[in-house]
Amino acid sequence: MGYPQTLETSSKVLIWGESELALRLAVEIGRRRPVVWALPGELVDQPEGVTVLPNSRLIEVNGASGCFSVQIETNGSLIRQEAGTIVVLPELDLDVPAAFRNNEEIDQAQTIVMVVDGVRPGCYREIVGGARALSRRGHRVYLIVDEVQVGFPGGEEMFQEACREGVVFLKDTVVYFDSRSAGCGTKLPAPAGVKTAESFREFTDQTLYLDCRSLGDTGPWVIEADRLWFFNGDRVRADYQQVREVLGVAGVDCQEYYPFQTRRKGILEIDPGWGEPFSQEEILAAVKTLIHSQTGDAPPAGRYEVRADLCALCLTCYRICPHGAVSFREGAENLYGQAMFIDPRACFNCGRCYAECPAQAIRQDSPPEESLGAVVLACENSGGPLLEGRGIPCLLFPCAGSIGITDMLRAWQPGIERLVIMTCRDGKCRHREGGKRLYSRVERLNRLLRVLNNPVHIEVVQVSAQDRVDEVRRRVSGL
Amino acid sequence: MIVGELKPFTEIKKMIRGYQRILVAGCGGCVTVCQTGGLQEAETLARLLNMDDPGTTVESLAVPRQCEWEFLEQLKTTVQRCEIIVSTACGIGVQAMNEYFREIQTLPALNTRFLGMPVEHGVFVERCQACGECMLHLTGGICPVARCSKSLMNGPCGGSKNGRCEISPEIDCAWQLIYERLKALDQLERLLVLQPPKDWSHSRDGGVRKMVREDLMLDDGE
Amino acid sequence: MMTGSNLERVLKEGHFAVTAEIGPPKSCNAAFVQRKADLLKGYADVFNITDNQTAIVRMSSIAAAVLIQQKGLEPVIQMTCRDRNRIGLQSDLLGAAALGIKNVLCLTGDHQSFGNHPQAKNVFDLDSIQLIKTIKDMRDEGRFLCGEEMKVRPDVFIGCVENPFADPFEFRALRLQKKIEAGADFVQTQCVLDMKHFRHFMDLINDRGLTDRVAVLAGVMPIKSARMARYMQKNVAGMMVPDELCERLETAADVQKEAVDIVVEQIAEVKEIPGVRGVHIMAVAWEEVVPEIVRRAGLYPRPF
């Protein structure tokens, strides 16, 4: 295949956290991906197919989306764990130093500037908490922040409290997260009474550039600070020496903190302490977001893959994929130099692309075996597997939506007048509306079959895996 | 792209009556993209023909483009086994096949509909009529030749209502679109220009069209 | 310019013009046309002979025009761009002029999908505006579209139509301006049922000074039944049929009388609108009502 092998990527998902939610996520993601679940406490439930690391502590995270390398201390020993994706449940203790939180060491009143960049909301809570404590103790505290985040329980109140207590926030927008999934926020103007970048002009003539990472580009500011603290979620990008100079606080006591954070791509944060318990839909939505947060270059390892040499770039798969797993891939060995690409980490193997590819360019790496003569073509999540060994030739597919017209026709043999497609019950398909497309496909084919000399009819039956075998047989035989 | 549509199956059945060894030839170009004549559809048609009459042998395959001699050459050995070819290409492909394979007839399985694009998945709309003299620069990038039911050049007829063409509420009034587009571009004055009668000699009306690029042509014997 | 057209004379003399429409039969029955001619003679200045209206095959406009001409009525032939290319159109115009026809109305033509031969191939080689310009150049420059000269020029009074009720509304006035610039001498509007909208349109074209350059004849149409009104309201593109009008017909004791009353009122109204210089009465398949309308509107006798 012509895919660039620039990165060794991992399909593994590391879940970090301890809660009912963590367990449920481990189970749900575990259906689709290899999962390592690291938790600080003892293991209570062992989810099936999930590697569990109890009594763990997260030491260090390196790498980027698709290829993280995580150092974990588990049961007293250090191990290194590769993961393509990390899910963080942020009720864990933060790496904000205790000194900061208690701040008893700072005696007389000082002017303290804190630069906060790229930390996750949970960490932010800690930092603001510390700032408030300092302010209450008579210090003048400036918080230069990339975003004022209030999208966590009690966040807005805390924010306003902090303002009342004299903490000066230097930022002109406030982000309210409108989803429990990380990364989806709505920027709104700062609420009344909040000190913003505008009010910062009272302290300096300089226009405040709002991205802390670029503070260095804005020319000299003058803040006579006694102390400067950096809280940085991305230690790579900021040049703090330069920032210190810009702020005019070079030479003062400066501390840098790198709380285990982060809003890096590939690290998904889900706050479990937020409002009502999560519903199954929300879990699934979170898993979906997780899967979608993944991009990157990886050789296909999924069940379905696009053969670039056959791909006509018709975009069918790209448009119909219910999981957003299909993207363009540059550098393909074909006429166009690009082909469609099914990201194996985002692919749920529903096979809809395979069923509808007009160029037959999407292949299954393990196609259903001998298909001739099967009278039942079934979704493997439906009652289809119940027919195994019961004298009814049945062919299993990962989803009924993956059964293409040619699959149906290939199954036919002279003498067969009726083919049965077995699908899950309405609303039970795990691949949104997969069934719906199957029905229109079958309808089209039946129209064509009706005019044959030897008419064949294709029937779709809905059978659940929970149905009794008798019932399944009855439905299949059309009685 | 060229948009095609499968002929009624009964019509295809009628065409191939009496033939036993059939090749269904797909095309990897436009008709694959519009999902009517690629490998998948060729196989579907082949299997249907075989189901209709299990006495026949029906093969299917596709070439990247049926409108190029070199690709047709790839079909040679298969064609030798067959009595009749059913092509799921556009009319161009069918003719190329007939011209290339002289001893055997190639029948059309598609009706070639128009030059268009999928405005959404599964919805194809005509966009160009190959009139041979593009005037899109005058009309805000919306073609009145192909998209006005009457190919009007100087504005909408009296049947334009609520942005729809009088002949069907399914059809957008091209001139309404042009009007809005030119308005947005601040070029409404273009609409006041009297468009002279179009020179249709560049279109089909001028006879069969031919384009010769001498710079591209190969010398004899090359 | 004097083409010898009676309509041109009437307009020039400052009279309020009246034109009416005669639909030719779906057969070669000359008597049908002659009967209508007898019925309408003297009630309008000129009579439009439709050209395969709504794309239904009928006796040709020019032939029917000659038939009424023989009866002493002056015809306006309608020419649509649907069925003839520039060769046919120019040729027919020469023929019509040779037969003494003095007026021609240029239209795009209804799409054939509305008619009784929806399988037909349409032409639309020219559009109506290009046709106007073509005829004007034949008349004023003595040139065919291709530039070649002709010896005897067709002296015709050139008309066009405009539909103030179609979209985009703001463009309608500009389109009329284009027709005037192409060479239209008079314009017959789509039948005016929504007076408010029509006034708005007239304001627009008055503002652009178009009424000084072209004679506007407002179209009116007696609607024979409430059902027809409702049908037009729903199904006919480019027509605005107000609810009040439908309701008036629905509640009328004598619908046909009501229909005539309405038209007479409409004529009185449009007469008062600045820039309107006549009416065009489209009594589709109800031509016999025209004399009554013209009389009751106080437009009879016509100036001769």
pLDDT confidence of residue A226: 76
Residue with the larger pLDDT of the pair A216 and A378: A378
Determine the 3-state secondary structure of A170 from DSSP: strand
Q: A358 vs chain B: nearest CA distance in angstroms? A: 5
**Of residues B99 and A374, which shows the higher confidence score?**
B99
Question: pLDDT at position A290, please?
Answer: 57
Query: What is the pLDDT, as a whole number, of residue A275?
Result: 44
Is there a cis peptide before residue A398, judged by omega within 30 degrees of 0? no
Residue B176 domain boundaries: 132-206
The continuous run of DSSP H or E covering A352 comes out as helix A352-356
Question: Is 80 exceeded by the pLDDT of residue A232?
Answer: no
pLDDT at A193: 45
pLDDT at A284 over 90: no
Is B44 an 8 Å CB contact of chain A? yes
Region C6-19: what's the mean pLDDT?
96
Using DSSP bridges, classify how beta strands A326-330 and A338-342 pair: parallel, antiparallel or unpaired: antiparallel
The answer to whether residue B66 scores a pLDDT higher than 90 is yes
Q: How far apart are CA B69 and CA B90, in angstroms?
A: 15
- Distance from B26 to chain A by nearest Cα, in Å? 10
Domain membership of residue B54 (yes or no) is: yes
Q: Are strands C46-49 and A13-16 parallel, antiparallel or unpaired?
A: unpaired
Residue A195 CA from chain centroid, whole number? 34
Work out the pLDDT band at B117, boundaries 50, 70, 90. very high
Q: How far apart are CA A3 and CA A297, in angstroms?
A: 8
Mean pLDDT confidence for A95-123: 63
Q: What is the pLDDT of residue A296?
A: 33
Determine what percent of chain B is predicted with pLDDT higher than 90.
89
Give pLDDT, residue A201: 41
Chains that touch C (3 or more CB pairs under 8 A): B
* Mean pLDDT lowest among A66-80, B198-212, C114-128, C158-172: A66-80
CATH class of A304-364: alpha beta
Strand partners, A461: A422
**β-strand pairing of A77-83 with A67-74:** antiparallel
pLDDT grade for A470, boundaries at 50, 70 and 90: confident
C-alpha distances (whole Å) from B125 to each of A315, A352, B33, B115, B116 are 17, 25, 14, 8, 5
In this prediction, residue A127 has a pLDDT band, given cuts at 50, 70 and 90, of confident
- Asked whether A400 and A382 are in contact (CB, 8 A), the reply is yes
For residues A224-243, average pLDDT: 62
pLDDT at residue number C8: 96
Cβ within 8 Å of residue C283, ≥6 positions away: C20, C21, C221, C222, C289, C290, C293
The packing angle between helices A155-164 and A121-136, to 10°, is 30
Q: Give ipTM to 2 decimals.
A: 0.90
> What order of strands is seen across the sheet that includes strand A267-269?
A50-53, A35-38, A13-16, A85-88, A267-269
- Looking at the fold, whether B7 and B87 belong to one and the same domain comes out as yes
Q: Quick one: average pLDDT of C29-48?
A: 96
State the total domains in chain B. 2
H/E segment holding residue B128: strand B123-128
Residues B94 and B171 in one domain: no
Whether B56 and B146 map to the same domain: the answer is: no
Q: What is the mean pLDDT of residues C192-196?
A: 93
Higher local confidence (pLDDT), B168 or A478: B168
Q: What is the pLDDT of residue A150?
A: 61
User: Where do we find the tokens 């630069």?
Assistant: A115
Task: Decide if A416 touches B, using CB distance below 8 A.
Answer: no
CA dihedral C233, C238, C244, C248 (to 10 degrees): -60
Task: Find all residues with CB under 8 Å of B64, minimum gap 6, and list them.
Answer: A335, B27, B28, B29, B71
Partner residue opposite B40 with nearest CB, options A357, A448, A452: A357
Least confident of A244-258, C8-22, C23-37, C101-115: A244-258
- Lowest-confidence segment of A252-261, C172-181, C237-246 by average pLDDT: A252-261
Dist. CA A350–CA A352, nearest whole Å: 6
Q: What is the pLDDT of residues A159-204, one digit of tens each?
A: 778 878 878 776 544 443 333 333 333 344 444 444 444 444 444 3
pLDDT at A291: 53
DSSP C23: P
Q: Is B54 helix (H, G, I), strand (E, B) or coil?
A: coil
Query: Which residues, 6+ apart, have CB-to-CB distance to B189 below 8 Å?
Result: none
- Lowest-pLDDT range of B110-114, C22-26, C229-233: C229-233
**Alpha-carbon distance C167 to A305, whole Å?**
50
* Distance in angstroms (rounded) separating the CA atoms of residues C250 and A296: 70
The pLDDT assigned to A386 comes to: 78
Length of chain C: 304
**8 A C-beta contact, residue C40 and residue C34:** no
Strand B2-6 to A394-397 pairing: unpaired
- B200 — contact with chain C (CB < 8 Å)? yes
Nearest-CA neighbor of A169 among A208, A126, A123?
A208
Q: Nearest CA of chain B to the CA of A406: how many Å?
A: 6
Strand pairing of B110-120 and B123-128?
A: antiparallel
Mean pLDDT of chain C: 95
Rounded to a whole number of angstroms, the distance between the first and last alpha carbons of chain C is 19
Question: Residues near A131 by Cβ (< 8 Å), separated by ≥ 6?
Answer: A112, A114, A141, A143, A162, A167
pLDDT at C65 over 60: yes
Within this chain, domains A13-90+265-292 and A304-364 share the same CATH topology? no
Give the nearest chain B residue to C170 (CA atoms). Answer: B179
Choose among A138, B196, B96, A233: nearest CA to B79: B96
Query: Do residues B100 and B141 both lie within one domain?
Result: no
Q: How many CB atoms lie within 10 A of CB B70?
A: 9
Cβ atoms B159, C237 nearer than 8 A? yes
Kindly list the domain boundaries of chain A, sorted by start residue: 13-90+265-292, 98-257, 304-364, 376-477
Q: What is the mean pLDDT of residues A294-302?
A: 36
Q: Nearest-CA residue of chain C relative to B194?
A: C178
Question: Are B140 and B201 within one domain?
Answer: yes
Task: Please state the rounded mean pLDDT for residues A344-353.
Answer: 76
Tokens of C222: 């007696």
Give the domain CATH number at B48.
3.40.50.2300
Instruction: Give domain A13-90+265-292's CATH number out of 3.50.50.60, 2.40.37.10, 3.30.470.20, 3.30.200.20.
Output: 3.50.50.60
| Same domain, yes or no: B91 and B160 | no
Q: How far is CA C19 from CA C221, C284, C287, in A?
A: 12, 13, 12
Domain annotation for chain C: domains and CATH numbers: 6-296 (3.20.20.220)
B87-104: average pLDDT: 97
Q: Give the CA distances from residue A134 to residues A96, A97, A123, A125, in Å, rounded to whole numbers and listed in that order.
A: 15, 14, 17, 14
Query: Mean pLDDT across chain A, nearest whole number?
Result: 69
Which is nearest to C45 in space by CA: C249, C278, C261? C278
Contact residues for A31 (Cβ-Cβ < 8 A; gap 6+) = A49
Environment class of residue C159 by beta-carbon count within 10 Å: exposed (0-12), middle (13-18) or buried (19+)? buried
CATH architecture, range A98-257: 3-Layer(aba) Sandwich (3.40)
> Checking DSSP bridges between strand B21-27 and strand B84-87, what pairing results, if any?
parallel
Residue A206: its pLDDT value, please?
34
Number of other CB atoms surrounding residue A58 within 10 Å: 22
Q: Do C182 and B194 touch (CB under 8 A)?
A: yes
Six-digit token string for A103: 């701040």
**Whole-number Å distance between alpha carbons of B107 and A397:** 35
> Are B141 and B109 members of one domain?
no
pLDDT tens-place string over residues C89-140: 999 999 999 999 999 999 999 999 989 999 999 999 999 999 999 999 999 9
B160/C167 CB distance under 8 A = yes
B32: three-class secondary structure by DSSP: helix
> Between chains, do A405 and B54 touch, taking CB under 8 Å as contact?
no
Give CA–CA dist A349/A341, Å, rounded: 13
Here the tokens at position B99 are 């011209």
Cβ atoms < 10 Å from Cβ of C218: 27
pLDDT tier at A213, thresholds 50, 70, 90:
very low
Chain C contacts of B194, Cβ < 8 Å?
129, 133, 178, 181-182
For the CA atoms of chain C, what is the radius of gyration? 18
Rounded to the nearest 5 percent, the helix, strand and coil shares of chain A are 25, 25, 50
pLDDT value of position A437: 84
Lowest mean pLDDT among A168-172, A233-237, A448-452, C86-90: A233-237
Cα A26 to Cα A17, A276, B73, B133: the distances in Å are 10, 20, 55, 62
pLDDT at A325: 74
CB A354 within 8 A of CB A367: no
Give phi and psi for B14, each to the nearest 5. -65, -40
**Residues B159, B107 share a domain:** no
pLDDT at B61: 94
Kindly state whether B189 is in contact with chain C, defined as any CB-CB distance less than 8 angstroms.
no
Minimum-distance CB partner of B33 among A314, A405, A451: A314
Considering the domain architecture, whether residues B7 and B97 belong to the same structural domain is answered as yes
Task: Clarify whether residues B101 and B26 are in a common domain.
Answer: yes
The mean pLDDT of chain B is 94
SS (H, E, C) A402-465: HCCHHHHHHCCCCCCCEEEEEECCCCCCCCCCHHHHHHHHHHHHHHHHHCCCCCCEEEEEECEC
Longest dimension (CA), chain C: 61
By CA distance, what is B39's nearest residue in A?
A359
Question: Token match 């000699």: residue?
Answer: B201
Which residues 21-80 in chain C show a CB within 8 A of chain B? none
Q: Are residues B100 and B6 in the same domain?
A: yes
Q: What confidence category does residue A116 fall into, taking pLDDT thresholds of 50, 70 and 90? A: confident
β-bridge pairing A304-306 and A326-330: unpaired
- pLDDT, residue B37, reads 96
Does the pLDDT value for residue A372 go beyond 80?
Answer: no
Over residues A42-70, mean pLDDT:
77
Of A106-110, A376-380, A471-475, the poorest mean pLDDT is in A106-110
B 132-151 → C contacts, CB under 8 A:
149-151
Q: Please indicate whether residue C237 or residue A102 has the higher confidence score (pLDDT).
A: C237
pLDDT at A124: 72
CA–CA min distance A389, chain B (Å): 28
Sign of CA dihedral C193, C197, C203, C208: negative
Percent of chain A with pLDDT over 70: 56
Which has more confidence, B65 or A253? B65
- What is residue A209's predicted lDDT score, i.e. its pLDDT? 34
Q: Is the pLDDT of residue A242 over 80?
A: no
Residue A391 β-bridge partners: none
Amino acid (one-letter) located at A149:
Q
Residues 6+ apart with CB under 8 A from B28: A312, A359, B38, B39, B62, B63, B64, B65
Find the range with the poorest average confidence among A207-211, A257-261, A385-389, C8-12.
A207-211
Query: Are B90 and B56 found together in one domain?
Result: yes
Q: How does residue C56 score in pLDDT terms, banded at 50, 70 and 90?
A: very high
Which of the residue ranges A86-100, A292-306, A386-400, B29-43 has the most confident prediction, judged by mean pLDDT? B29-43
| Res. A301 pLDDT band, cuts 50 70 90 | very low
A111, β-bridge pairs = A140
Contacts of A357 in chain B (CB under 8 A): 40
